[in-house]
Structure 1
């Protein structure tokens, strides 16, 4: 699959935007933290925001891109339970919101594949 040289920076931008959103508007993120996780949902919201910002920084730097892209793929797999919780919690909401929550589930697949593709294409050390 063809990937532009900007692809890592585009994914970094997506992660940075999401990371900032975790701090600028944390309440929606708090609501999708699985109840089974220990501690406060806000702590998990902030921790995932920090992780997204760190991943964005790592993807932006060619030297750390390969390992960070692999970590990014794992991160996308790791946050899937939050997206699943959102889909379940929003099953009785109006159709546009319910559709958005359900659409997030299969969108995790291309995100994982995007990150894996960046890792494969990275010129940096393994």
Structure 2
């Protein structure tokens, strides 16, 4: 398989995952996502979850339906989004909040190491790096 086709497939898979996660923010996983919102965020936890869910759906759609330079831009924005929400993962770990089956400090700590993978995935699959 050509590298370009593999990267396109990876970008589309990431896009689909973002749409799924964004839909979860708005529906079935809303309470779990609220557990990740740090207390210092100036919006209510629910509003933060709703707005970030909308952003994820938009980013996922951009990764699915754009090509070329626009997909590169979507990859950069997705990577920035993954960096921006990382404090929520840290907050969940530091405050010992259970969500998404992360019901121990070890599981919450392990989750922190997946965020850089998402950043890399967003950048690599959209040919930014």
Q: Does 1:7 pair with 2:10? A: yes
RMSD value, Cα = 2.1
Aligned-partner Cα distance in 1 for 2:90–2:36: 9
Count of residue pairs the alignment pairs up: 118
Tell me what 1:28 maps to. 32
> 1:115 Cα shift?
0.6
Aligned to 2:112: 105
2:61 corresponds in structure 1 to 57
Query: Residue by residue, what CA displacement relative to the aligned partner does 1:103-125 show, whole Å, maximum 9, x if unpaired?
Result: 21010111100111123269xxx
1:7–1:34 distance in 2 versus 1, CA, 3 Å: same
Higher relative contact order, structure no. (Cα contacts within 8 Å, ≥ 6 residues apart) = 2
1:77 aligns to what?
83
Structure 1, unaligned runs of 5 or more: none
Q: State how far apart, in whole Å, the 2-side matches of 1:48 and 1:91 are.
A: 19
Instruction: Output the TM-score relative to the length of structure 2.
Output: 0.82
TM-score under structure 1 length normalisation: 0.84
Residue 91 (structure 1) shift: 7.5
Deviates more, 1:21-30 or 1:105-114: 21-30
